[in-house]
Amino acid sequence: MAGHLRASWKPWAALAWVATLAGALPAAEFRSLGNLFGEDITRITAMSGDASTFVGVGTQYLERVPFSDDGKFFMVLDWIDKPYAWTLSGGAQLPPGGLGDFNDYGVSGVSHDGSTLVGRIGQHRGQAAIYISGEAFIWTPEDGLRGLHSFGNFDAWDSTATAVSGDGQVVVGLASAEGFERQQAFRWTRQGGKQVLSEGFAHPLTGVPVLQSSAADVSADGSVVVGRFQINDYGIQSMFRWTEEQGFEKLDALDGYSGGLASAISADGRTIVGTAEKLWTAGGRSEVFENQAMRWTEETGAISLGSLGERVDTWAEDVSADGSVIVGRFWRPNVDETQGGLGAFIWDEARGMRDLQEVLVKDFGLASSLGGFNQLSVTSISDDGRTLVGTALNPELNSEGFGAVTWLAVLDDPALRADANFDGVVDLADLQILKSHFGRGRFRSEGDFDSDGDVDLADVILLKTEFGSRVAFAVPEPASLLLAGMAFCFLPFYCRNRSR
């Protein structure tokens, strides 16, 4: 969802900050974007489908009370969320005309070409962040800022836009008529205005109407909306899908789970990702005690994305355009507090769920680029499934926004797919790695050169094809070629013996 920024900004042109990348990026890359605005925290909230545009906000702390003598730990009493625009050529910019009476900005979505932004603009009062009503908005370079409070018969007191279609014509979100309770999912179009999606819907088993609902995402053409809803105060949530043909319909979560929520939908509208929840309910209260990332399609229904270990909670956050790559976060309990239990995962059908940090190191050789960064959290994935953005914990606590920095990762295949040790040449060292992991490897650094989730004869063939190749201009030594030829002669016998 990219595009370019216009040279002149209208007064509200920077309701979000927008980063536009120029030129082609390297084959595989991980880099910290740091604190782009010089504020206390920088947050990326969404990325365009073609990975050229990012939106987010910068937060300035107005009042804080330190917890430690060195000032690294503190409690924030008041702050302001500032809208920014950021480009490689122009740097960070505040919108001309200032911030007015608003001090709370939320930018949640961006269209495919980066020209349309949606979110929430409002106010909060410091000292424990007492929120005053806010309003969903849509912004374009041509029209500037436009509020979306009007719901026809539904008198919205507070509203938030959460996502926008690829062409910028359809906005979805949630609005409340009575304080922050009884929120209802909405869909807005330029032609038809707003509609409440859950209006008239009743639970198929109990006949109870929807108590509250919220829309999380919308397909590229705006025809499919997904989100979550509740029918009582016990906290049990259910997924929903809305289409013009079928209207508002409940989607079943995983078997054995109390309910679930949808967080994103693929651009083609065929794959929904989200989280199944198990709840413990007693005394009129409910507590979630297990979360499992899942995906849903018309053909398969809800399917678990797998596990990263016992008692590891997982949440699916975003999905590529065709539904083939899914990203999310996890929480691993009972770990050292200096490392924390937070992390990001990436999923595809061939290799299942994998720790993203491990993938960056073992599949793409980016250990040196990662450095000491940890606790990766992923925000968005591009349409082609190759570019990711998110936040991470800076090893130098409090040096860049209380330890939190933004990052960008590009997961393109390297020039040499069979270079297991990432030294720029395919040689006997790579062959030895393949042999030692034959039949049990899952990463490129273990010999899975064709990225199908295992190390087998197909990887041997790929290594043989690339053997002797180098990233730079070089000719393989004759001795290496001779030894390689001998090794390949015996490898089939070795492989057959290992597979028995």
Examine residue 112 and state whether it is found in any structural domain, yes or no: yes
Place of tokens 């424990």: 128
Position 336 in a domain: yes
Do 458 and 338 belong together in one domain?
A: no
Number of domain units in the chain: 2
Residue ending a domain, among 411, 441, 465, is 411
**Using only C-alpha atoms, what is the Rg of the chain?**
25
The reported pLDDT for the residue numbered 401 is 43
Asked if 228 and 337 sit in the same domain, the reply is yes
Q: Are 312 and 449 found together in one domain?
A: no
Q: What is the pLDDT of residue 459?
A: 95
**Is 262 in the same domain as 334?**
yes
Inside any domain, residue 5: no
Q: Is 481 helix (H, G, I), strand (E, B) or coil?
A: helix
| Token pair recorded at residue 391 | 């936040």
Same domain, 397 and 445: no
Q: What confidence score (pLDDT) does residue 428 get? A: 95
Domain of residue 483: give its range. 428-499
Q: Both tokens of residue 52?
A: 């050229």
State the residue for tokens 């990203």: 327
d(CA 458, CA 463): 9
Specify which residues 123 forms β-bridges with.
Answer: 132
Question: Are 439 and 315 within one domain?
Answer: no
Tell me, yes or no, whether 140 and 38 share the same domain.
yes
Same domain assignment for residues 322 and 459? no
DSSP H or E segment with residue 34: strand 28-34
Please work out, in degrees rounded to the nearest 5, the angle formed at the alpha carbon of residue 281 by the alpha carbons of 278 and 286.
Answer: 80
| pLDDT of 3 | 35
* pLDDT score for 103: 59
Give the chain's residues under pLDDT 50.
Answer: 1-26, 85, 87-91, 93-100, 128-129, 152-153, 338-339, 398-402, 473-477, 480, 490, 493-496, 498-500
Nearest Cα neighbor of 83 from 49, 45, 52 is: 45
Nearest-angstrom CA–CA distance, 218 and 119: 14
Q: Is 276 within a domain?
A: yes
Whether residues 312 and 365 fall in one domain: yes
Residue 498 has a pLDDT of 47
Altogether, the residues listed in the chain come to a count of 500
